[in-house]
Structure 1
């Protein structure tokens, strides 16, 4: 909302020394964020004066019409003689009052004016258009002022209001009242403790009869409708300069008098209006829901299919406007419209908000209706509009009018008088709450500890005691709330937080780059993962109001977001990519709907249990995806492509950062390649628990997401890894020498090396210090279908030097265990 200071001062008796920046600071501290203070005309420099055209000489022989004008500028040029100016505009005549800028002046944008010879004549100045002066956008010609505006030679900068301070306020959705001069003026008057001249306090006579027939079909759609008409309106009557100027300063483009009046009243009172050509209306005006299949061509020349949830204003021929959003083309005010009907209504704000988004049609009217407008200002706004049409357009106001109303009962809120102080943590003096709430327009009853408050009609956002507390606190000043240091001792990061940071550092140190993805996916993403119809990951939480209709689900896996990030990087020319993401996934609990908790008290045990049951489970996971080269080539060597083994190694690194051992087994799990997928297990209290999967992606998944061939990925449940942690015990360091024994075992090719290594470790007993694989051989010497696997076993005792017999016995026990579990044979 853009607020010109001179317009605001008409409603608020601000002290003369209060500047726009002073006011901006006070409003921002009170909750109305002023983004900028624009000083219009700050770069404007005179002399810029009123002038009267005395004589026009038409110059010929040029490609376009040129006029040589003699202009009376009084004594502004220092001689009193007429000023000679060359001008190409055609929309003025001899005797007209215009705006002339003389040599030495500077127009907005740093455009300096001087005397120069042009088209064979000396031109000492310029006759200005509205655009050149910064008044409003108008390229049709120069500004012709009405008679009586001023005498030639008078300074035009002040008369035209070319210098103006304008506050640009970022209005939040809960403060719809601030989308009007009236609303900002009320807050300003309260902040400075000065009088407010409410522009809505308009004397409205009782109707002298029935106006245009109107009906509200459903009170749930609208509770008030006003129709006021004028006759004999001059459709060619110009919008006065002061109104055009204020509309432009407020960010609204002047169009025509009828439209400009409705926009002006909307900015002034916050009530959107619509002007109809009454001769085009047929019969009774009805506010109703749109019918299935109904269509309407709106003022932007788009034919729209209406939804039964849309509110429309219709006559006997059908819908003529999408209520609160945009009018229809059939009843638009035109150059022949002399009978004008002004409509002012109060619609349900949720219907307007949905209609605006459904039709992707955000208007100044919809912005106000969806935030909530005053439910009692409709008659005053319509009356103000028809009076302006009569004053400026020569119309006659009809004394009969229509006022259909079905007002809802007033809301009352019971609040402890000390509640605002409790919320702010400040002991406000007695009577503070009553003072500010009455200044706000609330009716306050009761004394002492409990207050009964009835909010004003222009504040539909005030619904509970906390809303009222916010109003009291903001007028007392957020800056006056003391900053209190927490008294409890700081404990730093929790164990879980430190572990998560360790996971991130581990992956970053091994060459991975962290990314963040939106937690939303669609069915197309799940299909791309090649998930079966019964895959648990298809059981997702569906959002009621998604940001993107194609992604209405909360993710059950991190992989789609990682794949999209990888595809985007590859498309930008980065072919060697290793990415990781740590975040939550959302697994439905199907525990029913969560209760709406009271703000007056804390939830009880049952309510907490119901909330917990309704919330989805949210395990924390880390996902990794790799493509291209894992090691770059150069003078040191040819480099190496990333493979499924790198994805498994990333998982091992994460487990190692937590001090957890990872067990790897071959598996089949989408979206990984069936022959290159590993299941990752950890031990939690002795029980084997699945922690994730890693490996090379399935070619169909790679194609679905547009990934490079042989892309590898891993996804690990960090909560499972954390639960597998055991208390860290300092190792015993032996000072005695190590005994090394090598062993080569022949096993079936299908036996995983990890299983063989575990069997050796289990059989070797307490003397074993470590098992290291150093060779795998397949060939004629071991036979087809077999492989030879060689390990180095390290033995050491903490209290003595091992004898050869002890080391050999431990080695034999390890081999025996491997033979029993896997069928391995000691290779000769």
Structure 2
């Protein structure tokens, strides 16, 4: 929110400078994000009166002006502005003046005529980009007065950043109230006295939705002059607050909203054909708004209607049908209290936001509706004239203001300082919070404009803000230095991230809502969980897997000429599960487990001179998955299994203790082609729960005995998995004493004669043998290898090559 300092100081004027005022507000929780001068620095510019204008004898587009600058003598100024005319008052940069950009004014000659200065446009003074002509000043401007003083250009514009709970400060009055509490400066009292009622015209209003509108007030004012100019002081304040001047009636409404925080709406009374009705909209109804947008309505949006004609979107924006114009003569001014819950989020449904909805959805004062209506009425009558009718005020359903208690002992404990009770009472008084004190507990009744005070901590926050965070000493906390127990068999999510980073993957965070096609293509999910209000039309469903987002990350990087991408994500996936019940962290019928997924694309290793370029393959990523599981990798099994997202012959289910915990493989050629990728990414996705439990590390003595290495090549059926061979040998190691010296088995060669029709392939295994107690003799080694071959022949019908 923007506001000029001069406007704020007209309501409360503490004896502190701009910088200190900004600091005080920021430290009180009303962050001043930026301060900027209204105009850039310049000197030597005064108010001047053009007395005479004559054509330039040597130039058609130039004119010679005789200008009164207040010095008693007329100055000759050569000017080319199209609006230079006799009788107007404009800024004059005198000889010696310095304009923005360090542009110095000196005596000059234009086409043979001497010019003793320069008449200025708004752009030349740095006030706006308008350079179509001279900046015309008010007729009341005093000739010879410094222009900075005449236009109050030494003012500062504050940009305040408010947290959503501080709706009471979405107005100059609210900010002034805070400044008064912080500095003790007196707060200006507004004149809310009723205006004279000279007509008896009324407009009946029927509030049919007490959960939408708690209070509704309005009055008719007839005979207004909508063409009346907005006063310069009001127009200046509005412009410096970021509001564009439209017309007197609209400007007055915006002014009251900014000054008092009260959004009001002005209807053209002659365009209202029937009595007004405040109700919830009906499905199928529509309304053309003031911004020209036509919106489709439903039962969750409040409206103001006249019979069957919808006139306004309640608390958000007025309708175009009853908008005031320069031809308007009779108006109906409305001020109401709309419940925040009934307004919150409604405008965003229609892809826009308004100043009114921004305030109403946070909470607007419901007690001073009539007073504020009298205030805006007085401004309308003073500026536009007219005759006012009586105020019709309906109180339907106002919020309850329940007292909130604050224990002094609790306040001192939370703040860590012994705040005196007298100071707490002074703070509540400065904040205009009605309160009582029984010696131990303060009981505060929140005012009608403070929707953020509901619990004890809210009052403690108020004490801390006004007391001053800078006065609270920065003492380190005192705590016992005791070691907390840790579960060494449980791995945290951060540990998993560290492991993935060590494996050369970079973490990404994608949306939990994805495109519908991703679910059907990548996960085979034809019935995903749909969003009621997606942030984008294509992000319409919740993800049941993570790989869609990773593939999109790869595509994005590929389009930006990246040649190697390795990414991972740890996040929740969502699927239907009737067994899930409502709980603190669960939603009925929705399963939300954590998954970890990774994707690798491009060269297996970064390009370098010592390694040939080789694209990452299934086994590279399989090795990463095994490293991720650590010692539990011995229990992992990778079983060929199709998956909608993966290559039919290069995909596998990941099993742990016989239970499927994930999948991995190359991306399906169809999706590779659709995503315009040169190579197929290799992806995996596993359950975080399976990764969370790790085996306790075991310490073993290192043997001093030498290792013995033996190779064994066998012919085995093509359909026989290598893992089955390894599992068989591991099983028999427990039963056969000859095999207990096997320390490691690795497959180092696979070969098959493509011309052979035998259906066999050659598998070459390397065995590392060792006895921890004694040096192995050749006979024992031969017995071990013979037993290995015998076990494999009996179990799998293989033969030695």
* TM value normalised by structure 2: 0.90
1:661 CA displacement: 5.2
Question: What is the 5 A alignment of 1:467-486?
Answer: 467-482=458-473, 483-485=475-477
1:591 CA displacement: 6.8
CA contact (8 A) 2:223 2:387 kept: no
**In the alignment, which residue of structure 1 is the partner of 2:559?**
571
Q: 2:62 matched to 1:73? A: no
> Which residues of structure 1 form unaligned runs of 5+?
596-609
SS of residue in 2 equivalent to 1:342: strand
Question: What is the 5 A alignment of 1:282-321?
Answer: 282-316=273-307, 318-321=309-312
Q: 2:52 matched to 1:55? A: yes
**In the alignment, which residue of structure 2 is the partner of 1:259?**
250
CA contact (8 A) 2:215 2:397 kept: yes
> Which residues of structure 2 form unaligned runs of 5+?
734-738
Give the whole-Å Cα distance in 2 for the aligned partners of 1:554 and 1:155: 64
CA contact (8 A) 2:197 2:387 kept: no
1:561–1:630 distance in 2 versus 1, CA, 3 Å? same
Q: 2:650 matched to 1:681? A: no
1:728 CA displacement: 2.0
**In the alignment, which residue of structure 1 is the partner of 2:687?**
717
SS of residue in 2 equivalent to 1:640: coil
**In the alignment, which residue of structure 2 is the partner of 1:643?**
617
1:500 CA displacement: 5.6
**In the alignment, which residue of structure 2 is the partner of 1:599?**
none
Instruction: Please identify, of 81-90 and 785-794, the stretch whose mean Cα deviation from structure 2 is larger.
Output: 81-90
* TM value normalised by structure 1: 0.87
Give deviations 1:502-553, integer Å, cap 9, x for gaps.
65455445543333323333433211214155xxxx675x666654454355
Give the whole-Å Cα distance in 1 for the aligned partners of 2:337 and 2:420: 39
Give the whole-Å Cα distance in 2 for the aligned partners of 1:781 and 1:699: 28
Q: 2:230 matched to 1:234? A: no
1:272 CA displacement: 1.3
Instruction: Please identify, of 702-711 and 729-738, the stretch whose mean Cα deviation from structure 2 is larger.
Output: 702-711
Give the whole-Å Cα distance in 1 for the aligned partners of 2:643 and 2:383: 76
Instruction: Please identify, of 83-92 and 728-737, the stretch whose mean Cα deviation from structure 2 is larger.
Output: 83-92
Give the whole-Å Cα distance in 2 for the aligned partners of 1:423 and 1:53: 67
1:767 CA displacement: 1.1
Give deviations 1:70-124, integer Å, cap 9, x for gaps.
111112xxxx321222334455643333332223323446554444333553333
1:649 CA displacement: 2.0
Question: What is the 5 A alignment of 1:159-238?
Answer: 159-199=150-190, 201-204=191-194, 209=200, 211-238=202-229
**In the alignment, which residue of structure 1 is the partner of 2:21?**
23
Give deviations 1:270-316, integer Å, cap 9, x for gaps.
11122233233323233333343333322223333333332223334
Tell me which of 736, 740, 745 is aligned to 1:771: 745
Question: What is the 5 A alignment of 1:574-589?
Answer: 574-586=562-574
CA contact (8 A) 2:66 2:74 kept: yes
1:23 CA displacement: 1.3
Give deviations 1:421-457, integer Å, cap 9, x for gaps.
3433433222554443343333224523344432111
1:381 CA displacement: 2.4
**In the alignment, which residue of structure 1 is the partner of 2:760?**
786
**In the alignment, which residue of structure 1 is the partner of 2:402?**
412
1:437–1:523 distance in 2 versus 1, CA, 3 Å? farther
1:749 CA displacement: 0.5
**In the alignment, which residue of structure 2 is the partner of 1:698?**
668
Instruction: Please identify, of 201-210 and 417-426, the stretch whose mean Cα deviation from structure 2 is larger.
Output: 201-210
CA contact (8 A) 2:596 2:688 kept: yes
1:115–1:594 distance in 2 versus 1, CA, 3 Å? farther
Give the whole-Å Cα distance in 1 for the aligned partners of 2:756 and 2:730: 24
**In the alignment, which residue of structure 2 is the partner of 1:604?**
none
Give the whole-Å Cα distance in 1 for the aligned partners of 2:776 and 2:169: 87
**In the alignment, which residue of structure 2 is the partner of 1:402?**
392
Give deviations 1:610-666, integer Å, cap 9, x for gaps.
656869766544322122332577765652222222221221222347775533322
Give the whole-Å Cα distance in 1 for the aligned partners of 2:300 and 2:101: 48
SS of residue in 2 equivalent to 1:103: strand
1:417 CA displacement: 2.9
CA contact (8 A) 2:528 2:543 kept: no
CA RMSD of aligned residues (A): 3.2
Instruction: Please identify, of 811-820 and 556-565, the stretch whose mean Cα deviation from structure 2 is larger.
Output: 811-820
SS of residue in 1 equivalent to 2:337: strand
Size of the aligned set, in residue pairs, is: 792
1:387–1:319 distance in 2 versus 1, CA, 3 Å? same
SS of residue in 1 equivalent to 2:345: helix
